[in-house]
């Protein structure tokens, strides 16, 4: 099949696209800005960007994309960043009273704007399992980020990055507290509560392409 990729409804999709275009992979990635079910059909993998999760869901609804997206998530790799991570979660607190549509697919419970308004945004170096040059910290950019409240115990989730206790916006004693989790994988799905598209460091995009979307083609040599 074609080696197409990527997503756009609202939010930071252009930034994701340029990160993907600069990757050096065995297969050239073609990026598609997804605005319709037909666009989605062309994709081998999808990124749901950061932005405003309520708006993204509304635009997806208006574009007839909710059901196609849910169906896509059943079959193919999806990466949600920040607002995208909220949409992929099983449940989200902190949504408006009339609610917000979620797509689901990843077995986590999340809180929108979970660090509160006093910490609108912050930056923290992250140690990430499985990135190229793992000793080099990855610059995590958090903007009104969601906070992981819990993982479904029976789900097979791999936590790949946590915030170090001294970098947390609020003190948390227990190092295993789910709120320290900022990146995780469940099967071929990837969830990050920060914005990898807002830094020049493209290692997270490389990770998604190599390990989640094209693992058989891109096995490291």
Would you say 128 and 159 are in contact if contact means Cβ atoms under 8 Å apart?
no
Stretch of 45-53, 64-72, 130-138, 148-156 contacting ligand GLN, by CB under 6 A: 45-53
DSSP string, 56-71: HHHHHHHTT-HHHHHH
Q: What's the distance, Cα to Cα, between the start and end of the chain in Å?
A: 23
| Alpha-carbon gap, residue 166 to 110, rounded angstroms | 22
Helices 53-62 and 66-75: crossing angle in degrees, nearest 10, is 110
Stretch of 34-42, 51-59, 71-79, 170-178 contacting ligand GLN, by CB under 6 A: 51-59
Least distance from C-beta 79 to ligand GLN, angstroms? 13
Q: Which of 144, 159, 168, 187 binds ligand GLN (CB under 6 A)?
A: 144
Q: Is 11 annotated as a binding residue?
A: no
Q: Which of 4, 35, 52, 123 binds ligand GLN (CB under 6 A)?
A: 52
Q: Which helix (H) or strand (E) holds 138?
A: strand 138-143
Q: Which of 110, 111, 124, 143 binds ligand GLN (CB under 6 A)?
A: 143
Query: What is the maximal distance between C-alpha atoms in the chain?
Result: 51
Q: Is 51 annotated as a binding residue?
A: yes
Binding mask 58-97 for ligand GLN (x = CB under 6 A): ------------------------xx--x-----------
Query: For residues 29 and 145, which CB has a smaller minimum distance to ligand GLN in the complex?
Result: 145
Least distance from C-beta 135 to ligand GLN, angstroms? 28
| Alpha-carbon gap, residue 136 to 56, rounded angstroms | 33
The catalytic residues are 82, 195, 197
* E strand map for 33-120: 46-48, 78-81, 89-93, 106-111
Q: Which of 50, 140, 169, 196 binds ligand GLN (CB under 6 A)?
A: 50
Name the site residues for ligand GLN (rule: CB under 6 A).
50-53, 82-83, 86, 112-113, 143-144
């Amino acid at each position: 099949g074609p080696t197409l990729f990527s997503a756009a409804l609202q939010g930071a999709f252009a930034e994701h696209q340029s990160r993907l275009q600069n990757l050096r992979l065995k297969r050239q990635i073609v990026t598609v800005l997804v605005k319709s079910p037909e666009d989605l059909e062309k994709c081998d993998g999808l990124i749901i960007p950061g932005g405003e999760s309520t708006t993204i869901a509304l635009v997806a609804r208006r574009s007839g994309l909710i059901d196609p997206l849910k169906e896509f998530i059943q079959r193919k790799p999806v990466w949600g960043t920040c607002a995208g991570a909220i949409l992929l979660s099983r449940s989200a607190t902190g949504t408006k009273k009339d609610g917000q549509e979620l797509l689901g697919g990843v077995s986590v419970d999340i809180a929108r704007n979970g660090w509160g308004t006093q910490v609108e945004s912050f930056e923290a170096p992250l140690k990430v399992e499985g990135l190229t040059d793992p000793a080099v910290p990855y610059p995590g950019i958090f903007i009104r980020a969601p906070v992981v409240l819990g993982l479904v115990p029976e789900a097979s989730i791999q936590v790949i990055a946590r915030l170090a206790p001294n970098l947390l916006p609020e003190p948390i004693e227990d190092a295993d507290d789910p709120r320290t989790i900022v990146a995780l994988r469940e099967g071929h799905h990837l969830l990050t509560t920060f914005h990898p598209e807002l830094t020049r460091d493209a290692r997270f995009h490389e990770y998604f392409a190599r390990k989640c979307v094209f693992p058989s083609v891109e096995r490291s040599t």
